[in-house]
Each structure stands twice: as structure tokens, then as C-alpha cells.
Amino acid sequence: MSGGERHVIEVEADAEDRLDAFLASRLTTLSRTRLAALIQEGHVLVNGLVPRKRDRPRAGDRIVVEVPPSQPSDLLGEAIPLTIVFEDEYLLVVDKPAGMVVHPAVGHTSGTLANALVHHFGTLSGEAGAARPGLVHRLDKDTSGLLLVARNDDVHRRLSAMLKRRTIRRTYTAVVWGHLAQDEITVDAPLGRSPSDRKRIAVLADGKPAVTHFHRLERWRAADLLEARLETGRTHQIRVHLLSIGHPVVGDRDYAAGAERGVSGPARAWARQLAALLPRQFLHASKLTFTHPMTRQVLSLESPLPPELEAAAAWARRTSGGAG
């Protein structure tokens, strides 16, 4: 067991959380995913023994965490065009198009954002693993917009800690079916893998805490244009939170396929036309605001709606009359 960074923790009281969660609460520069991988790879010892990530630390335990230097990614670089919104020697902010998978996975072994990043920038942070060079967070395949990329491990850990402390403000633009009861709504509902379909996320009593703040920007004939601000960053969080309050994202084929057919009355034809105009879900990571972890510069970056979303929005405004 050896590495470039060593942490020693003396446990004072029995922990309520399992080992990976306990360590994530103590070592805020390392993500829970990263710590779980370190446990799995044998870089964590509890009282000199290799533990399981589900073990719970007990009072008097001595935990040693060795963080080895990241290995360069062996991911194949691909000459895929990228839109870079911000770049310096420490980090990048990329404007990801809809339809692009962020990193290789089953069924998507090439053509990903990660492949493009390796081609354009070479060595990036390895904190998230060799298949996810530099990726500090993720966006769904059919969600477009701003994404943070770290150029080295130290910056990656700092950005991950900022995400955990909720000092990086991530704002999305979305269109949902129907009308919110109020202009401002906060959804506080825990999320986890659906027990009936592991590919889907659901609101679960024993899920991970998840909070999203919604603000209505415009009211259309049978839909609302919203601003969504993440307080936490769970998989599919915005889409599932909106579904849970009866206002699924327009064009979301995973969670709300054919939802436009549920619109009744005079607005039915309008809803079907809006759905027909959209080749994808109307969800876009539009703003990213944070203090640069190295230079301390306050960055407030924005991405305009992609042409297909802007065209649908323009049509919706034009045909909604005085609904706005």
C-alpha cells in the first residue's frame, strides 16, 4: 500500500454511516465514488486490515487512506469538435451538445465527450477514473450545456469539494407540461434506483437526499418555461423531481414518453405540435457560477439555448397569446 497522499483518521465514536460515506464526510476533497474505488482497490486499511465499503467504523478504529497518483488515461482520443466556454491551465468549461454521451459505458465505447477531451487536451485529471478523464460531474446524453473539466488531480479534488459544499451554482433551463401551482417551488425528495427498473431513478423514502429549486420564467399555453437550480446533483434529479410533482420535462422519452397526449381540451393540438417540434428533451445546463479554486476569480458562465430548443420556444411564445 503506497501512494502520493496519505490520510490517517482516528475514529472517536461509532459511525452511523458505512465506511465510504464516513470517509466522504471526513475527507471532503475526495468524492464518495473515488473513496469507494480506493477501498475496492485496497488503498484503505482499518486497523491494518482491508475493509469492505459497507463496513461501519467503530470507536477506536484507525483508518489509513492512501491516494495513489492518478494514472494517465489510456482512452483513445477522437477528433470530435468541442465548444469551450472557458479555459485556463487549471480547468475547462465545455458546452456539451445533446446526443453526446459524457464517458464510455456499455453501448457507448466511442464518440464520447471523454474521447474528445483526450484528443484536444491530452492528460487531464484522473480522479474520476481512467474512463472519465477530467470529468467533475456529468450530464445526461440528451441534456445539453455546461460541464466542468479539471486539468489535474488537485483542481479536481478542490472542485469536487466545492460541489459537496454547494458553492458551485448550477442552473438549468427546462420546459414542463402543465403549469406549476406557484412561480417558485422547491422539491425536496430523496432519490434512488427504481426497484422495478434499475435504469430509472425514482423518489424513494430511503434514497439519497435531493433538493431542486424551480422558478417559472414564462407561462405558455399548456407548458411552463422554468429555471431549475440544483442544490444536490443526483442522477436524473431534475427530470424525476419534475415528474414527481406532475410536470414532466417536455420531450423526455425515458420518463414521460407521449405525455403530450395527456393534455386535454383546446390545448391538445398545441401540445402535440410542441412535442413534434422537439427532437429531444427540453433540458439545458444554461449557467455555471463559481469561484475559481486556484485564481479566486468569480466565474459566471452562460450557454444560450441550442437552435432546436430556441426554435421550439419561439413557436411556443408566438402561439400562446397572452398566456405568458
Active site residues: 140
164's CB contacts (< 8 A; 6+ apart) are: 24, 28, 31
Which set of grid coordinates corresponds to residue 307? 437552435
89's CB contacts (< 8 A; 6+ apart) are: 151
* Angle (CA) 304 321 228, round 5°: 35
C-alpha 4: how far from its chain's center?
A: 29
| Cα separation, 262 vs 267, whole angstroms | 10
Which set of grid coordinates corresponds to residue 244? 414527481
| Cα separation, 80 vs 50, whole angstroms | 42
| Cα separation, 143 vs 253, whole angstroms | 12
Residue 29 · residue 161 · CB < 8 Å: yes
Give 38-44's long-range contacts (Cβ < 8 A, gap of 24+): 38/65, 38/66, 38/67, 42/1, 43/1, 43/3, 43/67, 43/68, 44/19
Report the Cα–Cα distance between both ends of the chain, in Å, rounded: 62
Region for residue 320 given its phi and psi (left: phi exceeds 0; alpha: psi -120 to 50; beta: otherwise):
alpha
Nearest of 147, 117, 176, 186 to residue 286 by alpha carbon: 147
